[in-house]
A and B are shown apart, each in its own frame.
Chain A
């Protein structure tokens, strides 16, 4: 099915470990986004990309890095995980603003 696929769906990390979250879309969308969702705080933008090879910081970028080497993929990296990064991470894509976003099903990350 066409859409946005996130891997993994669940992960438990120890403080200080690193990991990469993968987002893949097959709709040829130009824009891709990473958000985190914490209880009672809605979604907060981490990083986004307006096209292949471009990235930009969002509202809460500290502790994260991203790469968009291929148009269909957007990777989110945590170099040294901290408990404050325990959250649900959502990837989304769109043609461009003002079109609506298509979201992935999320990655639930716990840092202990």
Chain B
């Protein structure tokens, strides 16, 4: 079963608008990561946020983490056509299996 579930499953916006994607997870975590996947390519690591952090920025990306609600959001500001991709959250539960568990992803389409 998937640890993380992204919402929405698909999102279409105009260039210049902001895009927000949400991720909910089930168990406590050590950290949460976001990845981007362009069509037909492998995933690319975007940002990692630790369980004791609430917000993190990287360029046009802003990630928040609410451990009490077991949720995270990824905000892409001033979106560009090149941001068109699928975005996945991945969680590190910190116990047992020492690997990330990925959600099912959000497909973002940025219209030029």
Could you say which interface size class chain B belongs to?
Answer: 20 to 34
Q: How far is the CA of A104 from the CA of B43 in the complex (A)?
A: 8
A98 x B41 contact (CB < 8 A): no
A58 x B44 contact (CB < 8 A): no
Q: How far is the CA of A45 from the CA of B4 in the complex (A)?
A: 13
B102 x A97 contact (CB < 8 A): no
**Could you say which of A33, A50, A101 has the most chain B C-beta atoms within 10 Å of its C-beta?**
A101
With A97-B92, A98-B92, A104-B42 already in contact, the answer to whether A42 and B98 are too (CB < 8 A) is no
Encode contact with A along B1-36: 1 for CB under 8 Å, 0 otherwise: 010100000000000000000000000001101010
B98 x A31 contact (CB < 8 A): yes
Q: Does A103 lie at the interface of the complex (its beta carbon under 8 Å from any beta carbon of B)?
A: yes
Q: How far is the CA of A12 from the CA of B61 in the complex (A)?
A: 39
**Could you say which of B2, B98, B105 has the most chain A C-beta atoms within 10 Å of its C-beta?**
B98
Chain B contacts to A: CB under 8 angstroms: 2, 4, 30-31, 33, 35, 40-45, 48, 50, 88, 92, 94, 97-105
